[in-house]
Structure 1
Amino acid sequence: MAAPLPAPQGADNPDPSFEDLIAARPALRMDAQDGLLMEEVPLARIAREVGTPAWVYSANTLRRRYGALRDALKGAGLSASIHYAAKANDSQAVLRVLAAEGAGADIVSAGELRATLAAGIPAAATVFSGVGKQAHEIAFALAEGIFQLNAESAEEIEMISAIASGMGLEAPMSIRVNPDVDAGTHAKITTGRAENKFGIAFDDAPELYARMAALPGIRPVGIATHIGSQITGGVSAYRAAYGRLAEMVRDLQARGLPVRRVDCGGGLGIPYRDEVPAPPEALAGAIKATLGELGLPVMLEPGRWIAGPAGVLLASVILQKQGTQKQGTGRRFVVLDAAMNDLARPSMYDAWHGILPLSPIAAKAALSPADVVGPVCESGDTFARERPLPMLDPGDLVAFLDAGAYGAVMSSTYNARPLAAEVLVDGNRHAVIRPRQTPEDLLAQQRIPDWLMAAGTAPLAS
């Protein structure tokens, strides 16, 4: 059963204050003159320079969080490698920051492999996951010298064997095991239950591993799992899953089958609102307690945990719309220029994101409930309901917090809205790392068949 969504804001469950939200995020600071800063750069300055909506990422947050996980694994005495899940944020600048820290990559498409290679993460440090790898993607990964392919079905194992054999190569392969463990997270981001599409049923995995070891073109290297995303509330689900993996490793070794490493997946949650996720030391402790006696190297594939707190989405207020009692509602609507096509998580997952005014004056002003919405022609284009916010005038700026993961990568051009700009902040420096898409860019990607061009445009019927 999925974890319940956060309780609605109210007297018994008040939203965190602006001060509390800032205090919990080391990259942010409210300056009395310049307003909200990321590292040493005023976010209002970035908004003036590049416009809004705009994504802004903190390089030092990426470094700090990667280092915290690396140090936790080392402190637990584990031989471990970290493979950043590129699907969380595949910006070249973000990938390069992490590559410089020594991160490997976890990818789920040939496009992501090309992106990580371009950013300096070698294929020899990259894991290829996913339930639907295509033949051309597998061949590309093998040709580049991929570190590991995580197979998710018997059919995929046979396909990889045929491709690798035809190329005269051996594919380093793990089996992704579905341990049937409920991670207690949102139903749309849980991946380790029996009804999910991911992985191979636990009871079927040993025989399939033996089959894999007997096939040509395959070099078995271990087993893998990934039980879900945004896991909070402790590490009990991890301990349950990793305990089952340890049991399977011992069984495979008893059969004389080679197991060289264990891929522990990712999913460690972050505090969007008032959640209390386990620290990386607790995750490292769970790995040590369940898998440590095996004496095998382990791998982790974090995405959100590293990138999520590193980013914000800047938006401008278009207008405030005040409902009237005569209309049946006294609700206040704050309409922004950011929309669900920019940040999809609230509409997809009922996700909560902190929303901060950039102005130091607004941050101290009286608050009243407001529904925060975008301009897209969908009722689902709603970011927050009854959120305590100050009165906001047209042109005022706000920041959506913890938007560094599953933000820009999930954006679309719905309603013919160009993709937002992306900016990297590093100390007192900042630079545009993806220019804002223009309406001309959108039209330039389209083609009109010759016969429509020749026909011209028909007049409207009278």
Structure 2
Amino acid sequence: MILTKKDFFSHPFFKSVKLNRLSRFVENYRTPVFIYSAEAVLRQINLFKKNIPGKFKLFYAQKSNPNPSLLRFINTTGIGCDTASLGEIKSAIKEGFSKDRIMFTGPGKTEKELSYAISNNLLSINVESFHEIEIINRIAKRKERIQDIMLRINPAFEAGETTKIIGGKGTSKFGIDYEQIPEVISGLKNLQNVNLCGIHIFNSSGILDYRKILKNTKDVIRITIELEEKFNLNFKRIDLGGGFGIPYSKAEKELDIKKLGNGLKKFINKKEIRERLKNKELVFELGRYISAYSGVYLTKVLYTKKSCGKNIAIIDGGIHHLLRPALIGQSFPVINLSAILQNRKSLTRSYLIAGPLCTSLDEIDSDALMNEVTPGDILAVLNCGAYGYTESMPLFLTQIKSTEYFMNK
């Protein structure tokens, strides 16, 4: 894709970080660097708070970007933190999140991790198998505690996910199949040190159509109400997962958060729904939506060449820092930052942007349209604040590692 000047300056990152602040990174460039903007993160959190009814609480999915400075800043906004490992729990606590604002999720928790979570009295542990529940009960009994758990369910419906990232309908390593719930509920009667306090359904990722998120939210809430009635239960929390997407190309439109909020407000204010949700907390756990816009990845052009008529730019960065293009075929907007800073009047060309690794998988974009590139130019890859460096393979080929920089004011 090509970004026009209007697109460029309307992007959330460049609304918050002026070009003159980036120029020093270009002038003093040493190695590839991820730059994160606090203001761009705050923009997304405020959009959620402004448009989504207050009944819905926001948690940050730390897996999208665990940068310590970023975590520390997000904590100041008062939202919660969703964690998926012992390391993430410790990071959340270290960066200031109170333990009653931390949830622990994941299909393969070790006994050491579960013991730590129980000892630290986290808000809840979202469980994904009956065997896990039995282990939690045993540990909690030994510690003379009663542990709140939320049951992650694989529903018999989809939310509109197009890539297999987080699960959904069908065979999945995540959660418990809907058909297995009666057996699990029955088994819980014999476990005295766990308290089933809620339901967790996370079956979508990267959705831009607010109607799909709205429908999925309604379906999850209705399933929860059905389970309460069927098994005479009273949940205090419903974890609706995430799924809020951001656009990565001009063909995609930004999620209409205002229309989503209006739809949610209308639904939860229906008399029969309002009564059933009266004492319940509703949770969205969002990662990409909060942090993606906040990050850019700067990388230097080493060589330019042609192959079979195609322009190629070889850069010093690549999928060892930003794996998503190879992992799931995710493309990212790329701009020639040097050309923009120099106000260079040059032709727009299509480039294959490829890294230095000895694999043909090492491509950031196979058709990046931008100002003409010359060796030494610094390119900026946008929307890298989520699932960037944290998801990559920096040890491959013992290449140079990227650095990270957090901008706050």
Same fold (TM over 0.5): yes
Q: Which residue of 2 aligns with 1:278?
A: 255
Match 1:120 to one of 85, 96, 104: 96
Shift of 1:244: 4.3
Shift of 1:375: 0.6
Shift of 1:64: 1.4
The answer to whether the 8 A contact 1:39-1:58 is kept is no
Larger Rg: 1
Residue 424 (1) aligns with residue 406 (2): yes
Q: Which residue of 1 aligns with 2:245?
A: 269
User: Which residue identity does 1:366 align to in structure 2?
Assistant: L
Q: Which residue of 2 aligns with 1:192?
A: 168
2:113 is paired with a residue whose SS is helix
1:235 is paired with a residue whose SS is helix
Residue 346 (1) aligns with residue 328 (2): no
Counterparts of 1:252 and 1:59, CA distance in 2 = 41
5+ residue gaps, structure 1, are: 1-14, 30-36, 324-328, 428-462
1:301 is paired with a residue whose SS is strand
The answer to whether the 8 A contact 2:123-2:148 is kept is yes
Change (3 A) 1:283 1:201: farther
User: Which residue identity does 1:334 align to in structure 2?
Assistant: A
- Listed one character per residue, the Cα deviations across residues 227-256 of structure 1 (whole Å, up to 9, x for unaligned) are 122112333255145424423324324532
Change (3 A) 1:241 1:205: farther
User: Which residue identity does 1:271 align to in structure 2?
Assistant: P
Match 1:303 to one of 287, 294, 297: 287
Number of matched residues? 398
Counterparts of 1:119 and 1:308, CA distance in 2 = 20
User: Which residue identity does 1:56 align to in structure 2?
Assistant: I
- Listed one character per residue, the Cα deviations across residues 107-165 of structure 1 (whole Å, up to 9, x for unaligned) are 00000001111110122101111101111001101111110111111111111111111
Residue 140 (1) aligns with residue 132 (2): no
Counterparts of 2:168 and 2:316, CA distance in 1 = 37
Residue 380 (1) aligns with residue 361 (2): yes
- TM-score, structure 2 as length reference: 0.91
Match 2:311 to one of 326, 332, 338: 332
Query: What pairs up with 1:5-154 in 2 under 5 angstroms?
Result: 15-28=1-14, 38-39=17-18, 41-49=20-28, 51-73=30-52, 76=53, 78-154=54-130
The answer to whether the 8 A contact 2:201-2:220 is kept is no
Q: Which residue of 2 aligns with 1:437?
A: none
Shift of 1:370: 1.4
Q: Which has the higher contact order (CA 8 A, sep 6+)?
A: 2
Match 2:382 to one of 369, 376, 401: 401
Tell me which moved more, 282-291 or 17-26: 282-291
RMSD: 2.1
Counterparts of 2:146 and 2:260, CA distance in 1 = 33
Residue 317 (1) aligns with residue 301 (2): yes
1:262 is paired with a residue whose SS is strand
Shift of 1:303: 0.3
Q: Which residue of 2 aligns with 1:391?
A: 372
User: Which residue identity does 2:399 align to in structure 1?
Assistant: R
Q: Which residue of 2 aligns with 1:158?
A: 134
**Following superposition, which runs of at least 4 residues in structure 1 exceed 6 angstroms of deviation?**
none
The answer to whether the 8 A contact 1:105-1:127 is kept is yes
The answer to whether the 8 A contact 2:352-2:363 is kept is yes
- Listed one character per residue, the Cα deviations across residues 370-391 of structure 1 (whole Å, up to 9, x for unaligned) are 1111011110001112322232
Counterparts of 1:213 and 1:63, CA distance in 2 = 44
The answer to whether the 8 A contact 1:58-1:425 is kept is yes
Shift of 1:168: 0.9
Shift of 1:17: 2.7
Counterparts of 2:218 and 2:107, CA distance in 1 = 21
- Listed one character per residue, the Cα deviations across residues 31-54 of structure 1 (whole Å, up to 9, x for unaligned) are xxxxxx824653231244452310
Tell me which moved more, 230-239 or 269-278: 230-239
- Listed one character per residue, the Cα deviations across residues 243-301 of structure 1 (whole Å, up to 9, x for unaligned) are 24423324324532221111111120001113124333344445445556132220110
- TM-score, structure 1 as length reference: 0.81
Counterparts of 2:96 and 2:374, CA distance in 1 = 44
Counterparts of 2:345 and 2:260, CA distance in 1 = 38
The answer to whether the 8 A contact 1:175-1:205 is kept is no
Counterparts of 1:286 and 1:164, CA distance in 2 = 40
